[in-house]
Structure 1
């Protein structure tokens, strides 16, 4: 306070001195011997900058979908804050949420549609892009697609996408594929993201989705390979909930299991280091203790017919003496798998001490409500689905499914119908054309990959082999597989003879192979709907409102699809003329809110635009002491029947949580063929040894995302670059994090340039000692290694970790095994 008064008094003194000097100019002008005194002009108020407009939008720096308020003055965006009316953001943002203007004003952005003039493609080839009009660009693409359709080869056109936001962008691709006639619209990047966790839940509780969580009421979190405080969705809200959980009474206790020290482990009550790929063994041992100690939730799981009976290690039980309630196959699971999975056994597999496993199990099993959550750290291996099933089984044992403080699944918004029904515009070719007999280029749904959702990583090698056929034309939205796919060198070769259409606003690696660039607008320039990713379960949909008109000659991706559709021969064009444009589409979606107004009063397009979000609380269903209830408008009062539970919540063949999965048993022959698991055991939640890639590599190699990872585009944001890896002092690069003992054994000093080698090749990086990691595990955060993407990203930092990551996948989920590779390390 004294400092403030001193500065204030000094300021007033100087102002007074200036005023006196100005009024006595003649006197001061005649004084000699005084230097440094000058007359000042009369003070004036700052010229108003103009009207400031605040628009509602949704951040696109990660999948969290936080609502944002965007401040624009005189047509320029100058500030972004969390929207106080958005339940995910709650007026807050994570560090990267404020960086949207970097995207908008990136000087390396594509300024408009372009065509390639250099027929040669490669890293060192200049595409020779020249600007063209939107009409020429869209006409060129449409003529190519129409020609394929005339020849009966429309299946050779594929649409690839990464982050889809809603019905008004990626959600339009499937309809386009049906009307045009291709099975390859669209192939998502989920097989290179997190399909392992979704498939694990599909196999056990019947929901092929991510979970929603009631963190506010959780009393125990068991976090396994999830990078909870770095990259778990929705990240901004997760940090807010962490503060609540760790300060409420009772305080939420947290045990974190991972292969490296990260912010989550550092902030947890217990940190357990696990050998990569052995997460399922740990979870089975936790289950073993919960059962032998009698800690399972009897209301949800069931109980013995005789209270004197119990689960005893190594001893079988008769299924007839256990009455199951909302689970299926528990006694069978115990007999065939869990009875021998003691903590001592798990210690030999995972390297976690048996005493720590037992202590964790007792805590988790005796605390209600408790949640076990996981992500790619546990599922990014050849055994990923079985690992995830074992972890998710813990949620069933403690009765957390659909319970207060537990986990559920996300409900969708009450959207209205589109302006036209696509089924009314299918011509004979769309209904009966030969394209319908063709498999997808990724072979999803065939004997090769019968259970997967997507297999984007297989498309390039399949194209090169001509199996099942060669692609002719490929369109990319929000994905850059030439950089992000495992073994992306194959994509570099594959796309040399494919007509490539790229829609990114930025010059990424895939864009450098483009024949036509149809640049998307950035998220601050788009109008589009944003249904929430799994959050708290109740339905929610935000709206992106353009903060400014596109500053370059760009179009929102949904409008590109509509304009392209208008150019396709036949009734397809009539359908897209009915849609007209994305604003018309969004207005029709919003019409559904009239019959189901949001809690904040949103009931049409205008109120949606004003508020930025529609939502309806609470979650519709709740499991209470082993019974399921539906919300009646005031409380969870209407008890659900078993049939309703199966239809709405536990969507398995049995209508229960399945420790012996009926879904996996349907594919038992495939599982036996691909994984060597006997048919009779294929459906069991079980321990399966991981198969590590990397030849003679002796160190595990993991490539986690950091909090500043901005959906693969963070490497070209200067502010991001400066603080990307703060724990080890990273500025302007990303260091390879190495345990000191591991480095010294190889003669590597802190700061040395090192070479990381797998059976695919080598990349280089700068070593940084991190004593808090496992000694057998190298950590290289995923962000840099670009040879394109913009002036700040190009050639910065270490090599691209994807280039030494083998393209192998979990046979069940199809998830690429990013975390299962082994490498060698040496001084460069």
Structure 2
């Protein structure tokens, strides 16, 4: 298929958007290729002129690095890390400089549009016609008003990906409350990294990602986190890596993963484990730490007489051990850990027992030492139990809330918004409250632990269970391409009224009835509280480097303008909110009583500096004693009640090796995972359930440093360096062990077919002898059938295909995380 056919918007879109010069792009080399572009209204910049530097936040990943954006004569020409931003420190990662590619992407939407073709499908031209923002807002609000009158407001849903703060995704709570829908909003966390959050909620009571003190740790175990590829904050991690690996003593690093990657290559040692078995290695490490007396006794506790009674295969009497900041250690040992020897782990994982022993001894004898994880170990049906076993090592090493350890993020000192939504509820909103479940069935008996189950939404709609949607609005997410069993979304979106807000012509937009194009991040006013970073509170601000070069706006303003058109008191509420800028000015008033370390105390100083933050983190644990910052130092000793309230938020106020959180849903876990109800609380080995039956090869689709939030497929320079291990240039390759390929008559560079229970996709092979022979790897980012000329034009035939089309929609029953890495496939020459 040539590029003109692959671009779903075709001639009519090109006329509306002003994009041109598509012909021949698919055959052009990606490196150094220059496309003809439409001329934005800021073009024509002269070589010399006055340069303005604007504070902003990078949008290439979740890290939220502060950037300085250089604009001369109305055109952005350079982006650098902001020296005043604690994440960036004046530096950027390789993809941080790609912002101008996003801004001047020739395939961007140029203004709001309405679909004229009632038929929807991959091969259907939407037949776009340009409309005004007022026309778009009026039509959307009119449809919502009609749903409300008919008692069907629950049939409107918002789906979102990367939320930033109160000025965008933060508006969703009030929206759902006032409109009367439980489906505002359904986030993408269940297709991202929700497993690690649920593992921590089960053990230390915090349903959140950790913050880390990387620079002061002396030992790290990295379980499937892609630390030097896609972990957050990526830019700062690379800075800290240099410090960690050059300081004295050097931080010792072991990577546990299923494939060779940059992190593994840069580590001191690695353990190449089978997919889904990370938890077995963590349990074996914990077993050895106990049998050899290597746990941190000041935090965990000790035997009353000081004699270690942990012996492989032997039980311990509970009264003999006195715990301090942990709960259930002896029960865990007796019911699970006593049998989880390194030799047992070798039989499960394929990793030699001697290597597990070496890692365990180094981890157990080095302080501070931390174990980190992310999507790799948790994207399986046993994901939360894998995560609990890994996180248990942080309790055994005593690094919880300690220097060189891990803790949780504090939030910024925001003031209240312009209005309280509770004061604007009408009869419809009150009647609809709690009347219907969400379309994804999160927070119901079907998924009791989960906050979001986006991947279930299309399947539930298509089955009419619990009902069918009539409208959906998408912000910063593209599940028709990113979700497992992605074709389910094509069916759903073909049946309902769709609003897409992406700046770019992605797959969701091809099924949209109205496109409301958001401004790119360099044109946008938007706040961004930090993702978990170093614990102390921080929030940055996106300040537009230039006015929007096309007819676009912030997503928050879209929400507010639609809200103003909702009948009844809802409209009055949004008139009080007025605009994103008004909202931000109100919440920035909270800085007046708590100025940032850099002097930020109001909205104007926030715009000038680009970031508000206050150091230090307020709490620290040292040798089993918790201290709170008193303004001069960690001098005030905390009580057990204070620790429970502020830090370890479990029922016991301790790190729980026997989780009361999971025990509260014992019947559900027993039904879904087959674990006896008396054992559900323990970090334990649970066999993963791989999809694909007896198919021989594990199929893994990791992110790489150039993933760029799933939008780098239309950036030629990103594509060219997408795959650091095998190279590339104009396409992404399937990484295969040479023997695995030769057994199937496949040569390096051959075109191959990957087959799962759902169907097939094709790709080209590169040999990687460092990978496991039973695991094939296709980095996630490509296989687009929309998104722009380069995204759809890779190679002559758009290979590789989208791996999500052959990934089964199966999720961990506890976290709800989609099991992207648990599928098994066949491989053959195409």
Give the alignment's TM-score, normalised by structure 1. Answer: 0.94
Looking at structure 1, the residues matched to 482 and 793 of structure 2 have their Cα atoms a distance apart, in angstroms, of 15
1:800 aligned partner: 802
1:725 and 2:723 matched: yes
SS of 2:80's partner is strand
| CA displacement 1:576-607 (0-9 Å, x = unmatched) | 11111000111111111010001111111111
Looking at structure 2, the residues matched to 696 and 521 of structure 1 have their Cα atoms a distance apart, in angstroms, of 47
2:75 aligned partner: 76
CA contact (8 A) 2:262 2:725 kept: no
Looking at structure 1, the residues matched to 495 and 215 of structure 2 have their Cα atoms a distance apart, in angstroms, of 53
SS of 2:617's partner is coil
2:4 aligned partner: none
* 1:308 CA drift (Å): 2.4
Looking at structure 2, the residues matched to 308 and 520 of structure 1 have their Cα atoms a distance apart, in angstroms, of 64
CA contact (8 A) 2:46 2:73 kept: no
Q: 1:647-658 alignment to 2 at 5 Å?
A: 647-658=645-656
| CA displacement 1:455-498 (0-9 Å, x = unmatched) | 00000010011000000000000000010000101101111111
Looking at structure 2, the residues matched to 751 and 595 of structure 1 have their Cα atoms a distance apart, in angstroms, of 62
1:13 aligned partner: none
Looking at structure 1, the residues matched to 456 and 308 of structure 2 have their Cα atoms a distance apart, in angstroms, of 51
1:314 aligned partner: 313
* 1:47 CA drift (Å): 7.9
What is the aligned counterpart of 1:764 among 762, 765, 780?
762
1:287 aligned partner: 286
CA contact (8 A) 1:154 1:435 kept: no
1:171 aligned partner: 170
2:357 aligned partner: 358
1:615 and 2:613 matched: yes
SS of 1:727's partner is coil
Q: Using a 3 Å threshold, how does the CA distance of structure 1 residues 259 and 385 change in structure 2: closer, same or farther?
A: same
* 1:448 CA drift (Å): 0.8
SS of 2:411's partner is coil
1:392 and 2:391 matched: yes
1:155 aligned partner: 154
1:423 aligned partner: 422
RMSD: 0.9
Looking at structure 2, the residues matched to 673 and 491 of structure 1 have their Cα atoms a distance apart, in angstroms, of 29
1:28 aligned partner: none
1:19 aligned partner: none
SS of 1:77's partner is strand
Looking at structure 2, the residues matched to 308 and 224 of structure 1 have their Cα atoms a distance apart, in angstroms, of 32
* 1:685 CA drift (Å): 1.0
Looking at structure 2, the residues matched to 174 and 820 of structure 1 have their Cα atoms a distance apart, in angstroms, of 33
SS of 2:494's partner is helix
SS of 2:185's partner is strand
* 1:729 CA drift (Å): 1.9
1:716 aligned partner: 714
1:737 and 2:715 matched: no
* 1:434 CA drift (Å): 3.5
Looking at structure 2, the residues matched to 603 and 293 of structure 1 have their Cα atoms a distance apart, in angstroms, of 53
2:300 aligned partner: 301
2:536 aligned partner: 538
1:524 aligned partner: 522
* 1:428 CA drift (Å): 2.2
1:692 aligned partner: 690
What is the aligned counterpart of 1:809 among 805, 811, 814?
811
CA contact (8 A) 1:737 1:769 kept: yes
Looking at structure 1, the residues matched to 658 and 760 of structure 2 have their Cα atoms a distance apart, in angstroms, of 42
1:577 aligned partner: 575
Q: 1:504-515 alignment to 2 at 5 Å?
A: 504-515=502-513
| CA displacement 1:94-142 (0-9 Å, x = unmatched) | 0000000111111111111100000000000001111000000000000
Looking at structure 1, the residues matched to 690 and 791 of structure 2 have their Cα atoms a distance apart, in angstroms, of 31
CA contact (8 A) 1:152 1:435 kept: no
CA contact (8 A) 1:221 1:372 kept: yes
1:271 aligned partner: 270
Looking at structure 1, the residues matched to 627 and 342 of structure 2 have their Cα atoms a distance apart, in angstroms, of 37
SS of 1:501's partner is strand
2:461 aligned partner: 463
Give the alignment's TM-score, normalised by structure 2. Answer: 0.94
| CA displacement 1:674-721 (0-9 Å, x = unmatched) | 111111111111110000001331000100011011111100011111
Looking at structure 1, the residues matched to 184 and 80 of structure 2 have their Cα atoms a distance apart, in angstroms, of 36
Q: 1:52-201 alignment to 2 at 5 Å?
A: 52-201=51-200
Looking at structure 2, the residues matched to 168 and 392 of structure 1 have their Cα atoms a distance apart, in angstroms, of 33
Looking at structure 2, the residues matched to 435 and 56 of structure 1 have their Cα atoms a distance apart, in angstroms, of 41
CA contact (8 A) 1:195 1:453 kept: no
| CA displacement 1:174-208 (0-9 Å, x = unmatched) | 11110111000000000000000000000000000
SS of 1:68's partner is strand
Q: Using a 3 Å threshold, how does the CA distance of structure 1 residues 777 and 47 change in structure 2: closer, same or farther?
A: closer
What is the aligned counterpart of 2:434 among 414, 433, 436?
436
CA contact (8 A) 1:155 1:435 kept: no
SS of 2:725's partner is helix
Looking at structure 1, the residues matched to 76 and 47 of structure 2 have their Cα atoms a distance apart, in angstroms, of 16
CA contact (8 A) 2:493 2:511 kept: yes
Looking at structure 2, the residues matched to 249 and 505 of structure 1 have their Cα atoms a distance apart, in angstroms, of 47
Q: Using a 3 Å threshold, how does the CA distance of structure 1 residues 123 and 595 change in structure 2: closer, same or farther?
A: same
Q: Using a 3 Å threshold, how does the CA distance of structure 1 residues 209 and 78 change in structure 2: closer, same or farther?
A: same
| CA displacement 1:377-432 (0-9 Å, x = unmatched) | 1000000000000000000001000000000000000001101111111112212x
| CA displacement 1:609-632 (0-9 Å, x = unmatched) | 111000001111000110111001
Gaps of 5+ in 2: 1-44
Looking at structure 1, the residues matched to 787 and 646 of structure 2 have their Cα atoms a distance apart, in angstroms, of 44
1:750 aligned partner: 748
CA contact (8 A) 1:59 1:65 kept: yes
1:340 aligned partner: 339
1:408 aligned partner: 407
| CA displacement 1:727-782 (0-9 Å, x = unmatched) | 21211110000000000000000000000000000000000000010010000000
Looking at structure 2, the residues matched to 283 and 773 of structure 1 have their Cα atoms a distance apart, in angstroms, of 21
2:636 aligned partner: 638
What is the aligned counterpart of 1:493 among 468, 491, 495?
491
* 1:309 CA drift (Å): 3.9
1:31 aligned partner: none
CA contact (8 A) 1:182 1:436 kept: no
Looking at structure 2, the residues matched to 122 and 435 of structure 1 have their Cα atoms a distance apart, in angstroms, of 35
CA contact (8 A) 1:506 1:789 kept: yes
* 1:436 CA drift (Å): 2.4
* 1:212 CA drift (Å): 0.2
SS of 2:253's partner is strand
CA contact (8 A) 1:153 1:435 kept: no
Q: Using a 3 Å threshold, how does the CA distance of structure 1 residues 407 and 47 change in structure 2: closer, same or farther?
A: closer
Looking at structure 1, the residues matched to 313 and 409 of structure 2 have their Cα atoms a distance apart, in angstroms, of 39
Paired residue total: 782
CA contact (8 A) 1:221 1:255 kept: yes
CA contact (8 A) 1:343 1:355 kept: yes
Looking at structure 1, the residues matched to 724 and 593 of structure 2 have their Cα atoms a distance apart, in angstroms, of 49
CA contact (8 A) 1:224 1:373 kept: yes
Moved more, 308-317 or 758-767: 308-317
Looking at structure 1, the residues matched to 433 and 144 of structure 2 have their Cα atoms a distance apart, in angstroms, of 13
1:6 aligned partner: none
What is the aligned counterpart of 1:682 among 662, 674, 680?
680
* 1:310 CA drift (Å): 2.1
Looking at structure 2, the residues matched to 189 and 605 of structure 1 have their Cα atoms a distance apart, in angstroms, of 30
* 1:272 CA drift (Å): 1.1
* 1:435 CA drift (Å): 5.2
